A = this chain, B = another copy of it.
Amino acid sequence: MILEIADIRIQLGQQAPFEAAIEQATAQVLAQAKGCRGYKVHRSQESPERYILQVVWESLEDHTQGFRQSPAFGQWRALIGPFFASPPTVEHFELVTASP
């Protein structure tokens, strides 16, 4: 299990259409991807054009080789890519500690 964290900056004033697009993209595309165990999207209070997407994958390869190299990735990017102000920063994380 690995956690993808994507730091997304969108164009000014595009919150409402971006949120509709990422709700559709996560529910209809991402959720169907092999190895996708769950996802969350949060909006920053201090930076209202900033969003954090978190996706739990069964393995790193399910994201980097499976999803990113599948036709679904084109559908995903077609839905949310037009809102990006810059390329998202994406890294993969392992759990160190958590509350019980």
Contact = CB atoms under 8 A, between A and B. Distances in A.
Size band of the interface chain A makes with B: 20 to 34
Interface string A34-75: 000011111111110011100000001000000000000000
A29 interface: no
A36 B46 CA distance: 20
Q: Quickly give the copy total for this chain.
A: 2
B97 A44 contact: no
Contacts of A46: 91-92
Contacts of A27: 97
A23 to B, nearest CB: 5
A2 B50 CA distance: 15
Contact of A22 (B41, B93, B96, B99): B96
Contacts of A98: 38-41
